[in-house]
Each structure stands twice: as structure tokens, then as C-alpha cells.
Amino acid sequence: MAYVVTEPCVGCKITYCAAACPVEAFREGNDYLVIDPDICINCNDCLRECPVNAIFPEDEVPVIWKDWIVLNKKESRMLPMINDLKKPLLDKHCNIKEL
């Protein structure tokens, strides 16, 4: 079962998780990241690296963010892969102000 990036990532796009991923499962949108469920190996590396608690195992995604399961699957097929650190957005919607 794959991990899923959810709404708390929007506006933050902190890429520690993508850099920690050993299988290059992360994809980069304009203001968020997603995980390709066909590549994810459930290693927990990304989960430990997310400072905004946006990543969940698919079967533990909170009800309010269940639509992100489909969004990750769909968007991961179209978005470019990311596996390195980039400057985070940390915009007004991000629940963390500094890293």
C-alpha cells in the first residue's frame, strides 16, 4: 500500500520527503508534491521527513483528505519526478513558518 501526500503540503512543498525517497516516487506540482503509488515501496523514509504531517499510508488518510488518494495516483502520471531538495514555498497556507 502506497503513501499519499495530502492537503497540508499545498503551499509548503518542503522537499525533504522527496530527497529521502530511495525509489524516486515523488512528483512535483506547482505548489505541492504527490507520490506515485506504483513506485512507492512503503519504506517510511518520507513519512519521517515531512514537517507538516501531510503524508499518510493510503489506508490511514484522514476522511477529509481521502480525495488525495486519487489525486496522487492521477497527478503522478503527469507531473515530473523530483528527488532533490528545493527551496520550500512556505506560503500563507503552510502551517510551518521556518525550517
Q: Spell out the domain ranges in the chain.
A: 3-76
> pLDDT value at position 1?
83
> pLDDT value at position 48?
93
> pLDDT value at position 99?
67
> pLDDT value at position 73?
97
> pLDDT value at position 97?
58
> pLDDT value at position 98?
60
**What CA–CA distance (Å, rounded) separates 32 from 46?**
14
Q: Residue 34: how many CB atoms within 10 A of its CB?
A: 25
Listed as ranges, residues in the chain with pLDDT below 70 are 97-99
Residue 17 near residue 73, CB atoms below 8 Å: no
Instruction: Reply yes or no on domain 3-76 having CATH 3.40.50.300.
Output: no
Chain CA centroid to CA 51, Å: 11
